[in-house]
Amino acid sequence: MKINKKVEEILNKQVNAEFWSAYLYLSMSAWCESQGLKGSANWMRVQFHEETSHALKIQDYVLSRSGEIKLQPINAVETSWNNLLHLFEETYKHECVVTEMINKCYEVALSEKDYATAIMLQWFIDEQTEEESNALEIIDHLKLLGDKGAGIYHLDRSLEKRKFTDETAE
């Protein structure tokens, strides 16, 4: 069955938001790299890849339901932050906004009785819980460490170990 138009519209907005998120994380990665924080840059680059894969998962879903994808321009993103704690606080705030957007997509799917889309979006709801938790954990560590010194060095080194795995692929 062809996807409902209201659902198609909100999912198109979400595709744009996911690509914007990817662009934001790429900017954050570049900022981290310029600060000598290669591990944090890696963590943000993994986020970039995750957000891109999220956008493509939604796009592929819309197309599989005979819908139309209407890509829109990506707005500019921030390019600098006060320090690493500020960057991760902004990451957390951003993930909370994305959670609200996913929840709105879910609400629209349910109101339109598009249960297939609601089921697909459950994966994103679970993913957002994890995204917020990951950012909060790093914020907690940064608050304990302060913004300079050996603690930051060791945290940055641990963030360097993160690898991208495309969890959207089935």
Pick among 1.10.3080.10, 1.10.3720.10, 1.20.1260.10, 1.20.1250.20: CATH of 5-159: 1.20.1260.10
Mean pLDDT of all residues belonging to the chain: 94
% pLDDT > 90, the chain: 84
Q: Does this model's pTM top 0.75?
A: yes
Q: Which two tokens stand for residue 27?
A: 């900017």
- What are 18-56's pLDDT values in tens digits? 999 999 999 999 999 999 999 999 999 999 999 999 999
Find the distance separating the first CA and the last CA of the chain, reported in whole Å.
Answer: 22
What pLDDT, on the 0 to 100 scale, is given for residue 89?
97
Angle between helices 84-111 and 38-64 (to 10 degrees): 10
- What are 83-127's pLDDT values in tens digits? 999 999 999 999 999 999 999 999 999 999 999 999 999 999 999
What pLDDT, on the 0 to 100 scale, is given for residue 136?
97
Q: Is pLDDT of 145 > 70?
A: yes
% pLDDT > 70, the chain: 98
Indicate the length of the chain as a whole number. 170
What is the mean pLDDT of the segment spanning 127-143? 95
Q: Is pLDDT of 170 > 70?
A: no
How many CB atoms within 10 Å of residue 166?
12
